[in-house]
Chain A
Amino acid sequence: GQQVMQIPQYQHVQEGEDFTTYCNSSTTLSNIQWYKQRPGGHPVFLIQLVKSGEVKKQKRLTFQFGEAKKNSSLHITATQTTDVGTYFCAGPAQGGSEKLVFGKGTKLTVNP
C-alpha cells in the first residue's frame, strides 16, 4: 500500500543550526501536508503543498514539493528551542480512497 517515508527519524541540533526533514513517496502525490507535534501534544497542521515544484515559507520554515510530486522537504533556518517536536508529513493513500497516510515523523531536539 501507499507508504510515505520520512527521514531522518531523529535529529539533534544546536540552537542556531539549520534542520531539514525529507519525505518520500513511491507514487505521485496529489498534495502533501506537514504537521508539528510538540512533546505531549497533538499534531498541528503547518501547511499543504499542491503544485509541482511549489515552495512556501513561514518565517524560518521553508516547505518544498518536488517537481515529480513524489518528495517534499521541510527546512528550518536557525533553529530555536521552540522548534522542538516531531514533524510529520502526510499524503493521500494510493488507490483513490479517502485516506490520509502519515510518515513516521522526524523528532527534533534542540540544545540551547
Chain B
Amino acid sequence: NAGVTQTPKFQVLKTGQSMTLQCAQDMNHEYMSWYRQDPGMGLRLIHYSVGAGITDQGEVPNGYNVSRSTTEDFPLRLLSAAPSQTSVYFCASSSRTYYNEQFFGPGTRLTVL
C-alpha cells in the first residue's frame, strides 16, 4: 500500500492564482482531512470528510474548497491564492472516524508570492 499520497511536493503561486492540491489514499479509509501547518501554530484543520459525498468545514476553511467524489481522493482547491496561504499542507486519513489513528501524507509546501 502506498498509504496517503500528496501532489505536488512543492508549489509556488502568484497572488490570485488558483490551484488544486491532490490527496489520495489506498486504505479504504472513510475519514479524510486537510491541515495546514504554520510555524508556532501547530496543525489547523481546514476541511474534513466522513465519507464520499460528505464534507464539512474545519477551523480555518476560508479561501479553500473541497469535494469528495470517491473514497480514495480528497482534493483541496485554493480559489484565489493569497500570501497568507503560504504554508505546509497535510492530508490525513483514518478508518471509520476522526478519533482513530490518523495517517498523514508527506505534505505539500506552498509558497504564494
Contacts and interface: CB of A to CB of B under 8 A. Distances in A.
Given A1-B59, A42-B105, A42-B107, A102 B99 contact: no
Given A31-B99, A42-B107, A92-B98, A98 B40 contact: no
Given A99-B45, A102-B42, A43 B104 contact: yes
Given A42-B104, A42-B105, A43-B104, A98 B59 contact: no
Contacts, number: 63
Contacts of B43: 43, 88, 90, 102, 105
A103 interface: yes
A98 B31 contact: yes
19 contacts: A9-B40, A42-B90, A42-B105, A43-B92, A43-B104, A44-B104, A45-B102, A45-B103, A88-B43, A90-B102, A92-B99, A98-B56, A99-B48, A100-B45, A100-B102, A101-B45, A102-B35, A102-B42, A102-B43
Contacts of A35: 102
Interface string A33-45: 1010000011111
A99 B98 contact: yes
A100 B104 contact: no
Interface of A: 1, 6, 9, 30-31, 33, 35, 41-45, 48, 88, 90, 92, 97-105
A58 to B, nearest CB: 14
B25 interface: no
Contact of A100 (B33, B41, B56): B33
Interface of B: 31, 33, 35, 40-45, 48, 50, 56, 58-59, 90, 92, 97-107
Contacts of A44: 104
A84 to B, nearest CB: 17
A103 B103 contact: no
Given A42-B106, A45-B103, A97 B56 contact: yes
Nearest to B109: A40
Given A98-B48, A99-B48, A100-B45, A45 B101 contact: yes
